[in-house]
Amino acid sequence: MNIYRLAPFFECKDSFSCIYSLLCFFIVPPQIMNISSDITVNEGSSVTLLCLAIGRPEPTVTWRHLSVKEGQGFVSEDEYLEISDIKRDQSGEYECSALNDVAAPDVRKVKITVNYPPYISKAKNMGVSVGQKGILSCEASAVPTAEFQWFREDTRLATGLDGVRIENKGRISTLTFFNVSEKDYGNYTCVATNKLGNTNTSITLYGPGAVIDGVNSASRALACLWLSGTLFAHFFIKF
């Protein structure tokens, strides 16, 4: 705490009675006294964060989203930060700063975790010859992290079954064939699940002579042809 002294003040009632007064005021650096705890919510929920600070002069409280590119995070000058219909890209750290120009600002942080259902962001068909090693890969974004399952038609696959291995590392799951045979060719389904939902995609393991549809859009498509261990690609335009 600091004390600033102003000019003295004299008040005399008569020649024998005077009062000497010294007017002082106190300045107090900002201090955050109460702030919300870290919180986990589902996407679409409403969130309110609280940051209470004291000081003299009364500090200005500012909220800022840190987990975005510089210049893109929003700023709120209020003790309360309200977010309605929160999105997954609004997760991360939020910084509360209390400032009154007496001293350096007092800064505290709160972390918001936003849960959302899985969506498969990457899955790629693979061509491989008989007797070779083949790997199908499936990548899913989700919070909490997705759990994976692999199916062929209605049969769930497991490590060690028919010479395959399933390996899950974070957001990526792989299905490995150590010695591909003719019976391994076909469509496989990757299923990603967490407590908020699930999603799936079909991935194809194919061999020589197979024609597989690849990237499709409104204007063009890509077809890939596997011949004698070599991958060829050709484009054609859709109108």
Tens digit of pLDDT for each residue in 153-191? 989 999 888 889 999 999 999 999 999 999 999 999 999
Is residue 20 domain-resident?
no
Q: Does residue 44 share a domain with residue 71?
A: yes
Amino acid at 155: T
User: Which residue range forms the structural domain that includes residue 58?
Assistant: 29-116
Q: What φ, ψ does residue 229 adopt, rounded to 5°?
A: 80, 5
Task: Indicate if the pLDDT at residue 204 is higher than 60.
Answer: yes
Considering only residues 208 and 207, tell me which one the structure prediction assigns the higher pLDDT.
Answer: 207
**Domain of residue 71, CATH code:** 2.60.40.10
Separate counts of helices (H) and strands (E) for the chain: 0, 20
pTM for the model stands at 0.75
pLDDT digits (tens, 9 = 90+) for 113-151: 999 999 999 999 999 999 999 999 999 999 999 999 999
Residue 21 predicted with pLDDT over 90 = no
In a domain, 212, yes or no: no
| Same domain flag for 109 and 142 | no
Looking at the structure, tell me whether residues 132 and 201 fall in a common domain: yes
Long-range contacts of 24-27 (CB under 8 A, 24+ apart): 26/1, 26/2, 26/56, 27/1, 27/2, 27/3, 27/56, 27/57, 27/102
Would 74 be classed as within a structural domain?
Answer: yes
- What pLDDT, on the 0 to 100 scale, is given for residue 222? 36
Same structural domain, 131 and 197: yes
Q: Do 135 and 193 reside in the same domain of the chain? A: yes
Alpha-carbon distances of 179 from 127, 184, 185, 225, 228, rounded to whole Å: 13, 9, 12, 21, 17
* 222 vs 44, residue with greater confidence: 44
Whole-angstrom distance, CA of residue 45 vs CA of residue 138: 29
Q: Using the 8-state DSSP alphabet, how is residue 131 labeled? A: T
Domain count, the chain: 2
Work out the pLDDT band at 23, boundaries 50, 70, 90: low
Q: Answer yes or no: is pLDDT of 216 > 80.
A: no
Distance CA 219, CA 239 (A): 6
* C-alpha–C-alpha distance, residues 92 and 52, integer Å: 21
Measured CA to CA, the distance from residue 26 to residue 198 in angstroms comes to 60
More confident of the two residues 217 and 185: 185
What's the confidence (pLDDT) of residue 58?
94
Residue 182 · residue 209 · CB < 8 Å: no
Same domain, yes or no: 195 and 134: yes
Looking at residue 64, its pLDDT comes to 94
Mean pLDDT rounded to a whole number for the chain: 84
Q: Is residue 220, in this structure, part of any structural domain at all?
A: no
Residues 107 and 45 in one domain: yes
Q: Do both 80 and 105 map to the same domain?
A: yes
Q: Is 88 helix (H, G, I), strand (E, B) or coil?
A: helix
Lowest mean pLDDT of 6-15, 49-58, 68-77, 148-157, name the range: 6-15
pLDDT at residue 209 in the model: 72
Q: Does residue 208 or residue 123 have the better pLDDT?
A: 123
* Whole-number Cα distances in Å, 62 to 2, 59, 93, 99, 194: 24, 10, 14, 8, 35
Q: What is the pLDDT of residue 237?
A: 34
Listed residues 56, 87, 116: the one ending a domain: 116
- Give the model confidence (pLDDT) of 58-101 as tens digits: 999 999 999 776 655 667 899 999 999 999 999 999 999 999 98
Tell whether 60 and 83 lie within a shared domain.
Answer: yes
Per-residue confidence (pLDDT) for residue 234, from 0 to 100: 32
